[in-house]
Structure 1
């Protein structure tokens, strides 16, 4: 099997994913290097693929995009999306102009599965879903209450309905398998049902069925070092943030991996589900942004919508689980606020839009929606994912006695796309990654000049420009937190040469890009572009004629360029 045969209609387990990654590295050694970023709680490798055309320079001398996914255990679409990206890059180089240009001038750092332990549980023959890591936290023993899981071991975690005169739910009059909410003033013979998620009840006393706090209680995407809060009992969903920021080895590896690669300018975290592209902040309104960063986010977000069809949303205004609370400790917030990167979270897949439901809110729809919407979704599921809604069947529950299992099969409908729709869902996002890579700043030598001032005295000038769309600092935030070093030029002086004045290292500051220049008409007439994208360094040196000087111009986020200047009369 070659890389062209890698399937995108299935969710690979760890060994299969590893095999695909190793095959890509073996077949494309000049483009893709596979390494271990770190290890999971259970000791599995966290694979990182570094992708660039090594013939045009090393990976760390080019501006870069970081992409990771599957930090949440069951959100395995992310791994397939990133595997698709790697294949798209490797097979497109030399045949696709944009891919070729991206790999010749930029770098991609790709971590397809941040949480291999949790994904293995979710993809096992008898699946078990944890939020993130499999580590027991905040206590080693399971507490009492309803623990979700596949209680009849049929490979599905469904719903349980228990007939109860005080139940909230009743059968739809014409579609009895579909449960609908009982009216507020409704009484009568029923039947009425209490609806529970499939699972067993720890410590059942014959009366009470509380929801048990999860044994593996950490949400790793709350473990990043941005506004971290411990919340030992979770954030309304029973999930906690760990013992301290980056307490989890998977998160620590991601944070260290990003910090160790100062050439990164853009950060993507891939998740499911909602079919949206999110940006920070999660915990504060948009007036917290430097104005230019908000304008740039909006421009990049509009283009992301065009490429993928996914709406672009700010989390604070468009993706909060509770209007009176905020989430903290999130990866994209950390990447923007601490590292000054344009950071995104992709939430793949929305079954509601697939079913033709118009403009469903990614959070509020699941709290309250019309019966027409539910019927539309059910009709779509029966036609496209027939296993997605299961007719109720009797089961002798070990604690509750006679119950019925069935209803919505979340893993088949909501959590990830049905396998036959998977490739079409992730494919546009490979193009989005290439697009954003090509928006990064990119240093280029514009001109070199030599003027002879005396018999052995020369004035040397090197002019560079930022040929990219974004400025060399990428964000204003990066300047504010001082993580984007200025562009610098350095001349190497061989033996027998000396500087007449000045220093070998010349700081050029930050160079602007073409970002936000969309209109040829400004408020007071045509805009003045100026030449903020250019920088120059001049040295006066004493050296014999014929000497060659090597100049290196370096920017953490825009790359490294070199020029050789020959001291000859012109």
Structure 2
């Protein structure tokens, strides 16, 4: 098959075609599954990746990648699809891809919001996750986003008004700057989203909650709070069928030890905790997150941050019920989330955390706006910003409509930059996957004790960096199952003074263990070492 076009974002039908073509072209390396269906009946595709060499996929250490928790963040789907394509087309050519497919299993769900993203990609509309009315069944009074000038984009409107709190910047006529407290004379504006107004009384412009307010990344059970505390949370955890499908896939595949969830924007790698400072993260986990996170920074240039400290607007009311909280705090899986695309960085704006950004002065914001526009002119030929133009609004009268392209500049990567931005993220996930624990058999020795008894000694090793429990959190919440070593004997043979299946506890990265059995009888014996998240290895011996 020809290379997938990664200079555009793909509809559901296109995504489905690409996945099926890849599965047909590489049947020995992948298989396509459905994890469930959306309310509109679309399949939630998961590509299972791994070569047919050695251990079967379900018994290997596994890594889960997903995109599009949020309908408009279609760069996440692009990164997920790119990872599938990159692995399959580079197997046997690139050593990293070959090792990953020979030694690991990857499950990649490119798009969770299959219904919402279809609205986003095929209309001017934007939405958080699902095109289902929630929590209100009907649109409330006030502004609702609409492409009122029918140009295919929902931009901004500026309305000239003496009480407006914005003015045109003296340094660039495209940029709106805040009106100073003592500016009483001049031309001022209100700025609104491009919209119509339901039940407009000619005076008050209300800003109601969007009709489609469900947020899939607030619908997980860990730290979940109802809507009055956490907007978008849903009626109860896992109330959304797509999120329930994600959970079911996880539970049905207990070999998953690592995960990546793709979002936009920010150009940052997020790690736990989401509701507390690093002092609440087990020390060993914090160190592991820092070491693995450094690989991410090497590949992407993105910093790694604690969500609560560096990616939370209000520390008194942190966002809760997210996927990252669930996989780490409830499953003990080492998960990351990446906010792809950093437009301000491209424009040369100093990177700050959420709270620091919120504290910027009006002057600093104007300077940032000028840098963004200069970058747009320099790198995008001015095409990322639609210049203000007059329009007669049917309710507000004379306005001007313009602003940044919301879907392919602000929220997502400009199409010609997609592959450049996502490749490093792909490589990071592959390196993280190889860091997952992997049990191997190093030696098997046999000593005859008497005419019918042999001492079988097995040397095993965790041949990778992460411990077999993956995280200390997994031990803390008692979900980490110990590594086991066992013998599978034919009829007539037995062990003496020990158990067939022995628990070895957990092995740190690169640690070794020895286990022994006294075996009575003769025949073909299978020795096996297994870790739920560290894979399985076995050998056959003759006694």
Using structure 2 for the length normalisation, give the TM-score: 0.97
Q: Does 1:565 align with 2:541?
A: yes
Task: Output aligned runs, 1:37-436, within 5 Å.
Answer: 37-124=35-122, 126-188=123-185, 190-232=186-228, 235=230, 239-361=231-353, 364-365=356-357, 368=360, 369-385=364-380, 386-436=382-432
The Cα shift of 1:304 comes to 1.0
**Deviation of the 1:359 alpha carbon:** 2.4
Query: Does the Cα contact within 8 Å between 1:118 and 1:132 map onto a contact in 2?
Result: yes
After superposition, give the CA deviation of every residue in 1:136-176 in whole Å (9 maximum; x if it has no partner).
11121111111123222211110011111010111122422
- Matched residues in 2 for 1:183 and 1:142: separation? 35
In structure 1, how many angstroms separate the alpha carbons of the residues matched to 2:102 and 2:205? 59
Shift of residue 362, structure 1, vs aligned partner: 5.1
Measure, in 1, the Cα distance between the counterparts of 2:222 and 2:32.
29
2:461–2:513 CA contact under 8 A, matched in 1: yes
**Residue-by-residue CA offset, 1:451-479 (whole Å, 9 max, x unaligned):** 11111111112121110111111101111
In 2, Cα distance between equivalents of 1:184 and 1:408: 27
Give the distance between the partners of 1:496 and 1:409, measured in 2 at CA.
74
- CA contact under 8 A between 2:46 and 2:108: conserved in structure 1? yes
Is structure 2 residue 516 aligned with structure 1 residue 538? yes
Q: How many matched pairs?
A: 539
Gap regions ≥5 residues in structure 2: none
Aligned partner of residue 21 in structure 2, secondary structure: helix
Q: Is the 8 A contact 1:447 1:464 kept in 2?
A: yes
**Most deviating of 204-213 and 221-230:** 204-213
The CA distance in 2 between the partners of 1:426 and 1:251, in whole Å, is 24
Cα RMSD between the aligned structures? 1.5
Please identify, of 151-160 and 110-119, the stretch whose mean Cα deviation from structure 2 is larger: 151-160
CA shift at 1:322, angstroms? Answer: 2.1
CA shift in 2, pair 1:94/1:185, >3 Å: same
Question: In the TM superposition, what is the alpha-carbon distance from 1:398 to its structure 2 partner?
Answer: 2.6
SS at structure 2 position matched to 1:337: helix
Q: Are the aligned partners of 1:64 and 1:266 in contact in 2 as well (CA < 8 Å)? A: yes
Give 1:508-547 correspondences, 5 Å limit: 508-514=504-510, 533-544=511-522, 547=523
1:470-481 equivalences in 2 (<5 Å): 470-481=466-477
Q: Does structure 2 conserve the Cα–Cα contact (< 8 Å) formed by 1:51 and 1:103?
A: yes
Q: Secondary structure at the match of 1:501?
A: coil
CA contact (8 A) 2:404 2:410 kept: no
Contact 1:84/1:430 (<8 A) preserved = yes
Unaligned runs of 5+ in 1: 515-532
Shift of 1:498: 1.9
Instruction: Give SS of 1:6's match.
Output: coil
State the shift of 1:331 in Å: 0.3
Distance (Å, rounded) in 1 between the aligned partners of 2:38 and 2:394: 34
Alpha-carbon distance, 1:399 to partner = 2.2
Native 8 Å contact 1:68 1:110 kept in 2: yes
- More deviation in 354-363 or 59-68? 354-363
Question: Please, which moves more after superposition, 69-78 or 252-261?
Answer: 252-261
* Alpha-carbon distance, 1:495 to partner: 1.5
Cα separation, partners in 2 of 1:406 and 1:366, compared to 1, 3 Å: farther
CA distance in 1, matches of 2:374, 2:459: 64
User: In the aligned structure 1, how far is the partner of 2:74 from the partner of 2:279?
Assistant: 34
**Higher mean C-alpha deviation, range 386-395 or range 434-443:** 386-395
In the TM superposition, residue 57 of structure 1 has moved relative to its aligned partner by 2.4
The CA deviation string for residues 53-73 of structure 1, in whole angstroms up to 9 with x for no partner, is: 122222111101111011101
Alignment of 1:438 onto 2:438: no
Distance in 1 of aligned mates of 2:134 and 2:411: 24
Which residue number in structure 1 is paired with residue 447 of structure 2? 451
Structure 1 residue 415 displacement after superposition: 0.2
Displacement, 1:273? 0.3
Whole-angstrom distance in 1 between the partners of 2:366 and 2:233:
36
1:5 is paired with a residue whose SS is coil
Q: Is structure 2 residue 28 aligned with structure 1 residue 30?
A: yes
2: distance between equivalents of 1:364 and 1:142? 35
The whole-number CA distance in structure 1 between the counterparts of 2:220 and 2:279 is 23
**Deviation digits for residues 175-202 of structure 1 (CA, Å, limit 9, x no counterpart):** 22321111111111x2100000111111
